[in-house]
Copies of this chain bind each other. A is one copy, B any other.
Amino acid sequence: MVGVAEALNPRSIAVIGASRNPEKIGYVVLKQLLSKFRGKLYPINPSADEILGLKCYKSIMEVPDVVDLAVIAVPADHVIEVIKECGAKGVKAAVVLSSGFAEIGNRELEERLVEEARKGGVRIIGPNCMGIFDPGRGIDMLFVKEELLPRCKPGSIALLSQSGSVGTNMLSMLRRMNLGISTFVSYGNKADVDEADLLDVLADDERTRVITIYLEGVRDGRRLMNAIRRIRKPVVVLKVGRSEAGERAVASHTGSLAGSSRLYIAALRQAGAVIVDSMEELIDASKALSMQPPVMGKRVFIVTNGGGYGIMAVDELERRGMVVPKTPDEIKAVLKKEFPPYYSLENPIDLTANSTPDQYRMVLDILCNSEVCDAILVIPLMGIPNFDPMEVAEVISSMKCKRPVVVSFVSHTEETDKAKEIIEGSGIPVYESPERAARAIYFLYEYGRSYSGRGEADIPHSYRR
């Protein structure tokens, strides 16, 4: 892991190909690092003395200090020469943003790059990538300006993607959902550093609670499976290119063989990864796993006051193999005394449009302390009389629950957005459709699967609740 750890947490960064032209990548990256990065920063450009007020060096060899990480933004045909110098300087890692390698058919150039990097002891992230974005550490190599790509806040999701375009789009999705990230790494052609290397480093990153991977090709399946098996954090994987035509497309897009995707997916799941089917699921699963502990069994109870939404959740849960058991008689007996006869006490427990936040509290208290369920799905229907969203938020966020909890409400008013913020602030994820919330519970269960047999006490994470 020497090199990869430095790349993700450098004390000093050299920007090779730093530029004075605001249209150039070498300018955008330097400017971002200058305004955010708290370590040392060295612009390298043979034809400038100073850029953005920083002293500029003609070559990395001239930097009078240890350099942990080089960010390279020079034309492809200069990269090898620059990597040689990095090796000579003792730089442990380089992010090669430059394109013009295997992705346009220049495989030979890419092979020579890797060869020279190995000789010099430099680990390579890239080439043809967007590099690293770590808002907590002020590392930002995304060469898309903030006006076009508003940045995510710091948080607990680590996002790995070969593709810079898919990766930055996922950052936008996370931001729209108000989720934060620990690190984002785009590693482009994956000539050297791959997912397994990154997982090994992220295993020790205390800020990271879940690792989210957008995966096209797999180069060394066994290494990846082992890395997933080793890490004691949830790893969520969207493996694309699953079918024949999909594999063909992966092969031509990344130059790597996708090969036997079905086998890979089965092996990834076997190793403990949570496998998802779309970008939306990738984000939804990551959100749930970054906030809630694993679900250790299949029994889900649903509490709602909007019948239709409860039914949609049941459909999705059962489609995913989860179970929605009947409410035990002893619980029904307690509730029957408190509620009007037309409330449905079967699971989903439907308190109808006449319910109050206090009635929710009563039901949730009972379920939270009972042994009859493995997870609770709460679906408040907002916008009805006597049902103040703030009060509902207070009830849900103050629950002391032995079981994982997921919430859904479909409203989008200023008030319900505030309610969502309060609930998520307490560590309980809120989804905008009952089906997505139901799927989130399934993903928590999928992660729980990897602990089956060990018992809950062995779950290694300090989740918020």
Nearest-neighbor residue (CB-CB) of A416 within chain B: B148
Collect the chain B residues with CB atoms within 8 Å of residue A381's CB. 165
Copies in the complex: 2
Contact A308 to B253, CB < 8 A, known contacts A381-B165, A433-B278, A435-B278: yes
Collect the chain B residues with CB atoms within 8 Å of residue A214's CB. 308
A242 lies within 8 A of chain B by Cβ:
yes
Collect the chain B residues with CB atoms within 8 Å of residue A310's CB. 249, 253
A243 lies within 8 A of chain B by Cβ:
yes
A197 lies within 8 A of chain B by Cβ:
no
- Distance (Å) between the CB of A283 and the closest chain B CB? 11
Contact A252 to B315, CB < 8 A, known contacts A169-B411, A279-B433: no
Interface hub of A216, A246, A340 (most chain B Cβ within 10 A): A246
Interface residues of A in 350-370 (CB under 8 A from B): 350, 352-353
Contact A311 to B279, CB < 8 A, known contacts A245-B347, A306-B165, A318-B246: no
Convert A220-246 into 0s and 1s, putting 1 for each residue whose CB lies closer than 8 angstroms to a CB of B: 000000000000000000001111111
A48 lies within 8 A of chain B by Cβ:
no
A1 lies within 8 A of chain B by Cβ:
no
Contact yes or no, B163 A324, CB < 8 A: no
Nearest-neighbor residue (CB-CB) of A147 within chain B: B413
Nearest-neighbor residue (CB-CB) of A162 within chain B: B308
Contact yes or no, B348 A249, CB < 8 A: yes
Pick the contact of A246: B240, B248, B252, B314 (CB < 8 A): B314
Convert A139-165 into 0s and 1s, putting 1 for each residue whose CB lies closer than 8 angstroms to a CB of B: 000001000110000000000000101
Interface hub of A253, A308, A326, A341 (most chain B Cβ within 10 A): A308
Contact yes or no, A253 B315, CB < 8 A: no
Collect the chain B residues with CB atoms within 8 Å of residue A333's CB. none
A172 lies within 8 A of chain B by Cβ:
yes
Instruction: Report Cα–Cα, A325/B244, bound state, in Å.
Output: 10
- Distance (Å) between the CB of A350 and the closest chain B CB? 6
Nearest-neighbor residue (CB-CB) of A250 within chain B: B311
Q: How many residues of A contact B (CB 8 A)?
A: 66
Contact yes or no, A383 B253, CB < 8 A: no
Contact yes or no, B252 A344, CB < 8 A: yes
Nearest-neighbor residue (CB-CB) of A381 within chain B: B165
A445 lies within 8 A of chain B by Cβ:
no
Collect the chain B residues with CB atoms within 8 Å of residue A163's CB. 306-308
Nearest-neighbor residue (CB-CB) of A173 within chain B: B410
A455 lies within 8 A of chain B by Cβ:
no
Nearest-neighbor residue (CB-CB) of A261 within chain B: B315
Interface residues of A in 309-327 (CB under 8 A from B): 309-312, 314-316, 318-319, 323-326
Contact A165 to B318, CB < 8 A, known contacts A249-B346, A350-B253: no
Contact yes or no, A311 B105, CB < 8 A: no
Contact A315 to B242, CB < 8 A, known contacts A166-B309, A216-B308: yes
List 3 A-B pairs, minimum CB-CB distance, nearest first: A253-B307, A245-B324, A243-B318
Can you list 22 A-B pairs, Cβ within 8 angstroms, ordered by A?
A104-B342, A105-B341, A148-B383, A148-B413, A149-B383, A163-B307, A163-B308, A165-B353, A166-B308, A166-B309, A169-B411, A216-B307, A241-B311, A242-B318, A243-B319, A243-B324, A245-B326, A246-B324, A248-B326, A250-B311, A253-B344, A278-B312
Known: A169-B411, A243-B318. 9 other contacts (CB 8 A): A104-B342, A105-B342, A163-B307, A172-B410, A216-B307, A245-B326, A248-B326, A252-B344, A278-B316
